[in-house]
Chain A
């Protein structure tokens, strides 16, 4: 085996969701902790060149090209590079502003009474952006034909069947959650949670300028949700999921006959059969009691218990009961999007609570 094949095999191996998500999360934390050093323009240019180079080199691989070069997946590549660029731009300005505030210097954004006339200053920019956007769209339209497959045929089911790319983070969550959670409850919670942000966040600082130091918790939570739980899951769902929703590395051919062991167990089976060595109780409520206790305990005990920690206590005093409870419930559901996959990877857990007779599985 030559060196390139070895590198590709290694990348295929570390692209497994558990490693990929873990590495992405680690990188995300490092970026937010060392944002002042890592957003230095020299560091940013190195990262840009490395990612463009890696992407271009990967395009030589036919499996990588087949999935990434699909016309409908081109927007994902754009999304990745644009999100990376704008993350850098925001954190760079946050770093500059945070340093300036430490020194007592004025912010990048200037004072409220620094005003300019809309004609010509703003109208000019809007016009230029509209021109550039038009050109980009026309070039894009000439370069890539809009995809069109065989005429619709209800009797031929493609494998894999995928939703449009912007919903693939949710489809990827179907690996770990039932449709009623991944497809209905979580989307509703995401919309509700986003709407609730301005009413939960009582921190008056950081209004109208880039900063990280003054809003660490808010920015960490939101960016984790957007970058890891949305964008990274889209990448996994689109690029790494092939026939039967099995995992395939970026340089791996999609083999529809790939065999994957299915050994997942429910918490009730773990509790009664494996830990207590007893037969499963016939009463479904009793059978699922351990899971119900664990799940309700998770939602109802953590918010009050967290108050022991002093910063949380201070936060509670600022927010009040309703805001705090709402924030904790939303945060716990968000954390469940991480906890459940981790349990799947470590102890093969399928459901915490499972009433298949009512389609009620968590």
Chain B
């Protein structure tokens, strides 16, 4: 076995993939981080407090891991799901009854809930260690936006099963948009906006209409939330995660006493 192992590790194929030996000494361990595109998100060395679980709680890392898990299960779910009132609900039923090991939706849903808890606790950790203080102010702001986006990701996904739970939860949530000051038809000030005596902001033109693509949670809302959930918000999240991680490095790595 030992001989086979060393034969593989000395082969041209192996050496073309891994440019360094087994990470056993300091030099190869540094190489392991630097020569791998994924691992090089990390610095080569890190403060001792940065690897203590009691300090970091690993909640940021967990949020990112859950984002990856949600992306993978989400892509797989997209193979089975059609975002129309006609097919959405039967497709969800089929996910449980027809597909082998039908746990995809379960993992996706519970992962989403776990992600919300993890990101809240991540924020709590960052706050309680004062890690938003200079020079990390801007990265805190990026983090707040990511937190909002994670909740919106979960909210938009909530509609997709197209059952009673889904449409009424989204109805309750999106009804708030109709009360937006000036931009919602039941919002303060919107009745002041008129054009030639006609109201400018009404049920067919207000913020709720824009969110749902119609006055009610209907097929347009389903398509809109599907695109927001699967493409639009993840697209923004990926960009902001890149900024977030980059800034962690640029602002001096994981925080610790100065």
> Would you give 29 A-B contacts (Cβ < 8 Å), ordered by A?
A72-B165, A82-B117, A83-B124, A86-B121, A94-B128, A109-B256, A112-B258, A117-B30, A117-B46, A122-B46, A125-B51, A133-B62, A134-B69, A141-B107, A145-B106, A146-B110, A150-B163, A152-B164, A157-B168, A164-B158, A167-B173, A179-B178, A179-B186, A180-B179, A184-B176, A184-B184, A210-B128, A215-B130, A359-B186
A293 within 8 A of B: no
CA–CA, A355 to B258, complex, Å? 53
- A161 in contact with B169 (CB, 8 Å): yes
Q: Is the CB of B127 within 8 A of A222?
A: yes
A359: contacting residue among B26, B133, B173, B179, CB under 8 A: B179
Q: Residue among A78, A154, A222 with the most chain B CB within 10 A?
A: A154
Given A90-B124, A154-B167, A183-B176, 10 more contacts at CB 8 Å? Answer: A75-B114, A78-B114, A114-B48, A138-B103, A156-B164, A178-B179, A183-B175, A198-B133, A207-B130, A357-B191
Looking at the complex, which of B5-13, B140-148, B223-231 is the stretch in contact with chain A?
B140-148
Please name all residues of chain A whose beta carbon is closer than 8 Å to the beta carbon of B92 when the two chains form the complex: 148
Q: Are A130 and B65 in contact (CB under 8 A)?
A: yes
Residue A93 lies at the interface, judged by CB distance under 8 Å to chain B: yes
Closest to B188 in A: A360
B37 located at the interface, meaning its Cβ lies under 8 Å from any Cβ of chain A in the complex: no
User: How far is B29's CA from A194's CA once the two chains are assembled, in angstroms?
Assistant: 39
Complex contact A207–B258 (CB within 8 A): yes
Cβ-neighbour of B48 out of A116, A154, A180 (below 8 A) = A116
Is B205 an interface residue when CB atoms closer than 8 A count as contact? no
Q: Quick check: B168 and A116 within 8 Å, CB to CB?
A: no
A141 proximity list for chain B (CB < 8 A)? 103, 106-107, 110
Q: In the complex, A129 Cα to B68 Cα: how many Å?
A: 14
Q: How far is the CA of A300 from the CA of B155 in the complex (A)?
A: 37
List of 4 A-B pairs having minimum Cβ-Cβ separation, nearest first: A183-B176, A141-B106, A198-B137, A179-B179
Chain A residue with the shortest CB-CB distance to B222: A152
- Closest B residue, CB atoms, query A125: B51
Q: State how many residues of chain B have any CB contact under 8 Å with chain A.
A: 103
State whether B184 touches A180 (Cβ < 8 A). yes
Once A138-B103, A184-B180 are accepted as A-B contacts, the answer to whether A152 and B256 lie under 8 Å apart by CB is no
- Judge whether A166 is part of the interface by a CB distance below 8 angstroms: yes
Most chain-B CB neighbours within 10 Å: which of A72, A130, A137? A137
B89 contacts across to A, CB distance below 8 A: 151-152
- Judged by a CB distance under 8 angstroms, whether B19 is at the interface is no
Q: Does B235 contact A (CB under 8 A)?
A: no
Q: Is B98 on the interface with A (CB-CB < 8 A)?
A: no
Cβ–Cβ contact B51 & A206, under 8 A: no
Chain A interface residues (CB < 8 Å from chain B): 72, 74-75, 78-79, 82-83, 86-87, 89-90, 93-94, 107-112, 114-123, 125-126, 129-130, 133-134, 136-138, 140-142, 144-154, 156-158, 161-164, 166-167, 170-171, 178-180, 182-185, 191, 194-195, 197-199, 201, 203-211, 215, 219, 222, 226, 355, 357-361
Known: A115-B47, A359-B186. A163 touches B172 (CB 8 A): yes
Q: Which residues of A contact B179 (CB under 8 A)?
A: 178-180, 183-184, 359
- State whether the Cβ of B151 lies closer than 8 Å to any Cβ in chain A: yes
In contact, B110 and A115 (Cβ under 8 angstroms) = no
Distance between Cα atoms of A75 and B166 in the complex (Å): 17
Quick check: is B197 within 8 A (CB to CB) of the other chain? Answer: no
What is the CA–CA distance of A288 and B197 in the complex, to the nearest angstrom? 27
Q: In the bound complex, how far is the Cα of B5 from the Cα of A282, in angstroms? A: 92
Tell me if B23 counts as interface (CB < 8 A to partner A): yes
- With contacts A133-B62, A180-B181 taken as known, whether A204 is within 8 angstroms of B47 at the C-beta atoms is no
Q: Which residue of A lies closest to B190 (CB)?
A: A359
Instruction: With CB as the reference atom, state the residue of chain A lying closest to B147.
Output: A194
Contact present for B46 and A118 (CB under 8 Å): yes
Q: Is B45 an interface residue (CB 8 A)?
A: yes
Query: Which residues in window 149-198 of B have CB below 8 A to A?
Result: 151, 154-155, 158, 161-169, 171-173, 175-181, 184, 186-192
Contact B258 A118 (CB under 8 A): no
Q: Which residues of A contact B192 (CB under 8 A)?
A: 358
User: How far apart are the CA atoms of A121 and B109 in the complex, in Å?
Assistant: 32
- Cβ 8 A contact of A109, one of B39, B45, B151, B257: B257
Cβ contact within 8 Å between A226 and B42: no
Q: Inside 8 A of A161's CB, which chain B residues have their CB?
A: 168-169, 171-172
